[in-house]
A and B are shown apart, each in its own frame.
Chain A
């Protein structure tokens, strides 16, 4: 337990020491999106009956920032440790693959939550969403951040260079998070793109998360929960077996 906790603490301190880049910067980015989109669209778009566009946008932006930062934390920490070689200090001690997995994943999720809290605080001045079902908010926040942290773990293990990781981020994570209904309700999309969105797990994370705020969503939250839970389980199994086998880490 001490080993797990130490690694978790180290991973949290690692981003907290440079919180200006790892927390403040993404909060500012989310704020810019809100300012621009809300300014342009607030008067014209009403995604759900009785829900203003600005209010609609806040949970989506919040979750998008959380997911991207959970991914960034595990993936960047791992690739840095691999490239600088200091990963040996994690590999030499008697940490089990579960401790390794758990500590990195939870620290990534923790960064997601800190960024999420920052986005929420910063956007409260514009609009206060109703927080209808707080438990759903927490469940989707936790599962979504863990899922993306695990995806970051896999990407960090797989990538050997920074540009491979950047490709993973730009060609997979960014499209998945941007095309997930952060900025719109997918009901406003043409049917083809609606059905494409249904193959994007991030869509369900955002939709379920938003349901917790408004009690309205594009799909039933239990359905979203099942998709997110299933994806999480698959990624957990993949990453655990990678860590256990020592893939690209213990040669």
Chain B
């Protein structure tokens, strides 16, 4: 059973199609990144999963439970941290968490609430009114609210947008520990290095369509974004290699390297013209470059 299953999910807002026909699965135990530029449809997809929005087409399941037909069980299986900073100004942090537990039918949850508060660095804010918290602290409470019912699937919609470094670290180490304990994590983020270091699988959305879904390692291998830097003596490039040239600084030439196997041919071309190779460096593409390339493809 998959943690999340989208089957040909589509959403129209009037005449505007926010999601076309999105199908993919998040496996149990995944640390999954959902990437895409603003307006790609990430939040809409998450809202459908959460039951906040109804899909126009298709079906969505969480832990095998249909989010519409079996909405009560489905909602127990998932914890959502919404993108917008929202809070109830009438209550303090602990009250917010006790109420949230109650909505999920959990009466005595103090032990787990204390644990969440501790792990998110909120213990000494427990009796502070939500209104009096800074933005970063409110964001932590939102994460806590998503966890009161110990959901097997946790979805964070841009949890670190506009948030200080300290929170990012606290948050990620906590979320990582939850993932290690078996919770499936889905996150959307604009900080691609976060997705790169944390996630094992990555999906990309563009204008309401899924354009890629791969293991992170496979995606990182996408050659087009990789290059090789050659330090040459004399500082000249064989004509046959000119089409590959990306940049040149003095005797350093950066060449496109679509496939690692092409390295042989490049070295052969150098040898043929008796150009000495002084140094060689293969750059790993970062997700940012892959992302930009794929979005412009």
Q: Give B50's nearest chain A residue, CB to CB.
A: A92
Within 8 A of A (CB), among B28-84: 50-54, 71-73, 75-76, 80, 82, 84
Chain B hits for A14, CB < 8 A: 90
Whether the pair A2, B107 counts as a contact (CB closer than 8 A) is: yes
A5-B102, A6-B103 are known contacts. Are A94 and B72 too (CB-CB below 8 A)?
A: yes
Within 8 A of B (CB), among A5-25: 5-7, 9-10, 13-14, 17-18
Whether the pair A86, B75 counts as a contact (CB closer than 8 A) is: no
A91-B52, A94-B73, A250-B54 are known contacts. Are A6 and B99 too (CB-CB below 8 A)?
A: yes
CA distance A95 to B104 in the complex (A): 8
Q: Which of B54, B72, B100 has a CB less than 8 Å from the CB of A89?
A: B100
Q: Does B184 contact A (CB under 8 A)?
A: no
The winner among A7, A84, A88 for most chain B CB atoms within 10 A is: A88
CA distance A7 to B105 in the complex (A): 11
Chain B hits for A5, CB < 8 A: 102
A2-B102, A6-B102 are known contacts. Are A91 and B51 too (CB-CB below 8 A)?
A: yes
**30 interchain pairs (CB within 8 A)?**
A2-B106, A3-B102, A5-B102, A6-B103, A9-B99, A9-B102, A81-B88, A84-B86, A84-B88, A85-B82, A86-B86, A86-B87, A88-B52, A89-B100, A91-B50, A91-B52, A92-B50, A92-B52, A93-B75, A93-B100, A93-B103, A93-B104, A94-B71, A94-B72, A94-B104, A94-B105, A250-B51, A250-B53, A250-B54, A251-B52
Q: Which of A2, A10, A84 has a CB less than 8 Å from the CB of B105?
A: A2
A5-B102, A10-B99, A93-B104 are known contacts. Are A85 and B86 too (CB-CB below 8 A)?
A: yes
Whether the pair A13, B102 counts as a contact (CB closer than 8 A) is: no
A94-B76, A250-B53 are known contacts. Are A88 and B82 too (CB-CB below 8 A)?
A: yes
Size of the B side of the interface (Cβ < 8 Å), in residues, is: 32
Residues of A within 8 A of B (CB): 2-3, 5-7, 9-10, 13-14, 17-18, 81, 84-86, 88-96, 246, 250-251
Whether the pair A7, B103 counts as a contact (CB closer than 8 A) is: yes
A94-B71, A95-B103, A96-B72 are known contacts. Are A251 and B53 too (CB-CB below 8 A)?
A: yes
A-B contact count (CB 8 A): 80
Q: Which of A17, A86, A90 has a CB less than 8 Å from the CB of B103?
A: A90
Within 8 A of A (CB), among B102-140: 102-107
Chain A hits for B101, CB < 8 A: 6
Q: Closest approach, in angstroms, between the C-beta of B2 and any C-beta of chain A?
A: 21
Chain A hits for B13, CB < 8 A: 251
Q: Closest approach, in angstroms, between the C-beta of A47 and any C-beta of chain B?
A: 42
Q: Give B73's nearest chain A residue, CB to CB.
A: A94
Whether the pair B80, A92 counts as a contact (CB closer than 8 A) is: yes
CA distance A7 to B73 in the complex (A): 19
Q: Closest approach, in angstroms, between the C-beta of B150 and any C-beta of chain A?
A: 14
Q: Closest approach, in angstroms, between the C-beta of B15 and any C-beta of chain A?
A: 15
Within 8 A of A (CB), among B178-228: none
CA distance A17 to B91 in the complex (A): 9
Q: Closest approach, in angstroms, between the C-beta of A19 and any C-beta of chain B?
A: 12
Whether the pair A250, B52 counts as a contact (CB closer than 8 A) is: yes
Chain A hits for B100, CB < 8 A: 89, 93
Whether the pair A94, B75 counts as a contact (CB closer than 8 A) is: yes
Q: Closest approach, in angstroms, between the C-beta of A20 and any C-beta of chain B?
A: 14
Q: Give B101's nearest chain A residue, CB to CB.
A: A6
* B128-172 vs A, Cβ < 8 Å mask (1 yes, 0 no): 000000000000000001000100000000000000000000000
Whether the pair A3, B105 counts as a contact (CB closer than 8 A) is: yes
Chain A hits for B86, CB < 8 A: 84-86, 88-89
